[in-house]
Chain A
């Protein structure tokens, strides 16, 4: 069985590679895959090479990191809360990061990439704890708590940005989740954090799987329940916070991807996490490519593409008879 899943995972990785190459070819200046390959392998000084190296490659890497981070965060959240509707965007975790960044900018804390990252992660963590403690008792309540908190924070963010026009100007574009125009920002720190957290997610997945059997069973299997739950909270916070810090608020990636890959993973949490890490970036890249195609004169923010795709998936999930009653 493992062999077949490995083969499928390898196939997914190939798909990811293909989509990544396509994403570097699509845009205002269309490039053939051969040109993209040329620019990657033996970069010269031609226009195509410059476009790929300075704009499209960083943007592709960003999509990989953000997509993997949000999808893995969604998979962890859905498993840990046993809630098919869990998603860092829907549960208000990204809204917490977003509000923290707006507040941090007003207070002058987000000048450096470390500052922005720390502020975003702290905001995401606080939001996660608040939503979880309010909505713990049922999936619907969790969803509503996230929705309500997102609303409050969105209103407060807009209010803050109107009071401090300077912050408004800087965050006008950030406040809509998008991958455009972020190619020049130094991304090393957030991406390193995301990679470490992804490795951590894979490591915690087995303990999480044991937790699904019930706390007593998990304990008898030698799993430290409290430590596992805490690790999941920290990982989700890091992943969602870092992704939001670089790309702005994105919803639905964490919801859609785990649902799509669940049949492939066949009830194994480690495989679920592995598949979401590979296929999350595929969705993010497709949304990013669509964001460049849908509008002739400019770009649709990727978050809008994701919301248009994600709404129907959410409906499909709640209509699905197999999902737990709300």
Chain B
């Protein structure tokens, strides 16, 4: 246990938390340097560091082209994982993540409707696209929640989510098929979930929005912990459950749809990161910090690997996370079966 005191404010850390945080930050930094090195032209780590300091010939490549992608991977991974942690916490179900519940697909539907409705003009209005994606995601969340309401069985939520997900995915495919060719190409490139071609211009607004949402979640995290102990305990310690739930879920949906609006649906980070983080940090519930750190490292790893594996083809990172995440889900199921039978 480590305690930091500064006047009336004191913060306590578990040693394991500190250790794992340092490990993950170092890992993220190493991956980031690797991500900045690789690409069409290999830049040595030394040159990368020089470029980051604003010197050297490769500063344009590194700072203008590759850095946005690396920053995007870290921040978006963290944001997706935060959303997953909140929803898993609220549904008390390790499978209750936004991507499983169809929220990503709904956000994509919202964005598609704007893209097809406004044509190429939509590309010039990233704000509108984000709002549409967020509205789509929120409506989907409401729909899934409403359909599985009054059911004491938590499994139903997941099945309803999978069903809504399948239907929305099909509707999305239909919208793309109906669309004009240019729109369809733009929309299809987006559908696999990719960080290809991400620039600083694309990152500005999302970073601010995500910062605000993450800040909200951190401020509320203490009350959320009380709620995890039990509804009665939370109420007794002065937590107003209704508004708390509403705000946290809204913030989580906001995180996932903001990312989806920029990159397209990237599956499984939200599902896997909170659970992996929980195991790495040895916490009892899904924590925000472990989830965010793990999520950032996971998405950056997936992105760096997907660029390495099929070097000239920019494999959409969503393909990579889908394959890895599906394997993770299978493993989770196998482990649970073993535990039950032994």
Contacts and interface: CB of A to CB of B under 8 A. Distances in A.
Interface of A: 85, 134-137, 140-141, 143-145, 147-156, 158-159, 162-163, 176, 251-252, 294-295, 298, 300-301, 303-308, 310-312, 314-315, 318-319, 325-326
Contacts of A143: 159, 162
A151 B323 contact: yes
B4 interface: no
A307 B166 contact: yes
22 contacts: A134-B333, A137-B340, A140-B158, A143-B159, A144-B329, A148-B326, A149-B330, A152-B327, A155-B323, A163-B310, A163-B313, A251-B166, A252-B166, A295-B177, A304-B177, A306-B170, A308-B171, A311-B168, A314-B162, A318-B159, A318-B163, A325-B153
Count chain A CB atoms within 10 A of each CB in B165, B310, B325, B333 and give the residue with the most: B333
A132 B146 CA distance: 31
Given A295-B177, A300-B177, A312-B167, A158 B333 contact: no
Contacts of A158: 192, 319
Secondary structure class of chain A's binding surface, majority of residues: helix
B16 interface: no
A27 B302 CA distance: 44
B324 to A, nearest CB: 8
Interface of B: 95, 147, 151, 153, 155-156, 158-160, 162-171, 173-174, 177-178, 192, 267-268, 309-310, 313, 315, 319-320, 322-327, 329-330, 333-334, 336-337, 340
A64 to B, nearest CB: 23
B330 A145 contact: yes
Contacts of A155: 319-320, 322-324, 326
A128 to B, nearest CB: 15
A228 B165 CA distance: 35
B167 A307 contact: yes
Given A143-B162, A155-B319, A315-B160, A326 B155 contact: yes
A64 B233 CA distance: 60
Given A134-B337, A314-B163, A326 B156 contact: yes
Contacts of A140: 155, 158-159
Contacts of A314: 159, 162-163, 166
A311 B326 contact: no
Contact of B167 (A162, A308, A325): A308
A79 B123 CA distance: 50
A225 to B, nearest CB: 21
Most buried by A among B170, B177, B322: B170
A326 B167 contact: no
